[in-house]
Structure 1
């Protein structure tokens, strides 16, 4: 089974009808660093995607697979590192878009376009990882709300606040 990095693109026309193409995506260290920056993760470990690609119809390819990883993110309240195991099923459909002169209309909800005739496997894996992790990770002991600091009396708008105070000269 061929192993690719996150820059992997597969020529859709290389997949023959009734054949299943199998591959693995394993990112390099530089690509892991890019993931950390792109998604604001603390760490991504053991990321592997095992994929099966089939041509299922004219100009249509299905990608099925499994994505596993260990991701560490910051709690949105405390900033505490939170580890999470990812085991995500990938199911995508790719189609070749035709030019505007084509008179046939097809509902294309839930499909991805080919990118210059290629299936962008790396981008698909990165987006799947982002979908698989908890969107707003929260530590179990985090407060339900954030307490604001008391208003300082030496801030630049103290004079304006005094003007807004109701006049208590009754």
Structure 2
């Protein structure tokens, strides 16, 4: 992946009880960087609203909403496929020493992914969080992995009752009928 130019550092050292809300909008150069990194045909807009709140004695909880207008290539025809992304996300951050304080046995140290459970906290290095890589990651998660243009299909539909000559089993079915 290429170097991303999107960076948005938010100081979390003085959140207070109410927390902080930020609106982030990517400029043209930042969108171009993401477009190249994710092999998009276009990234028309990218913006996010994030809310940071204190989480426990040392942590930070982030709730966000990413919105983007993207254009991807159809996996079948390579035609442009425009899409609107509206993706909500939630993350938590703890200082590395607080994560290390959480005792784990060898069995608990294995990474077990459970779909419905919240992700473990990310390490909070210093007093700020860079939302550039976070938004890039959330965009990657929200992109359609197999975009298709309307009406695009991998093969022509076979008429009912018609024999498919290209099928490797067509010759076998002729032998079975004899």
- Which TM-score applies when normalising by structure 2? 0.69
Residues of 2 paired with 1:36 and 1:109: CA distance?
27
Task: Tell me, in whole angstroms, the C-alpha distance in 1 between the residues paired with 2:91 and 2:61.
Answer: 6
Q: Residue 131 and residue 42 in structure 1: after superposition, are their counterparts in 2 closer, same or farther (change >3 A)? A: same
**Secondary structure, counterpart of 1:7 in structure 2:** coil
Deviation at 1:30, TM superposition (A): 0.8
Distance of 2:121 and 2:98 partners within structure 1: 17
1:62 to 1:99, Cα distance in 2 relative to 1, 3 A: closer
User: 1:105 maps to what in 2?
Assistant: 103
Q: Which runs of 5+ in 2 are unaligned?
A: 109-117, 157-178
Equivalent positions of 1:18-167 (< 5 A) are 18-98=17-97, 104-105=102-103, 109-144=119-154
- Extract unaligned runs of 5+ from structure 1: 147-170
Work out whether residues 31 and 45 of structure 2, in 8 Å CA contact, stay in contact via their aligned partners in 1. Answer: no
The structure 1 segments of at least 4 consecutive aligned residues displaced by more than 4 Å after TM superposition are: 106-109
Distance 2:12 2:20 in 1: 11
Q: How far is 1:117 from its partner? A: 3.7
Name the larger-Rg structure.
1
Distance 1:103 1:55, change over 3 A: closer
| Contact in 1 for aligned 2:96/2:125 (Cα 8 Å) | no
Aligned partners of 1:137, 1:34: CA distance in 2, in Å?
21
Question: Which residue of structure 1 aligns with residue 176 of structure 2?
Answer: none
Q: Which moved more, 1:55-64 or 1:134-143?
A: 134-143
Q: For 2:92 and 2:98, how far apart are their aligned partners in 1?
A: 19
Query: Are the counterparts in 1 of residues 8 and 132 from structure 2 also a CA contact under 8 Å?
Result: yes
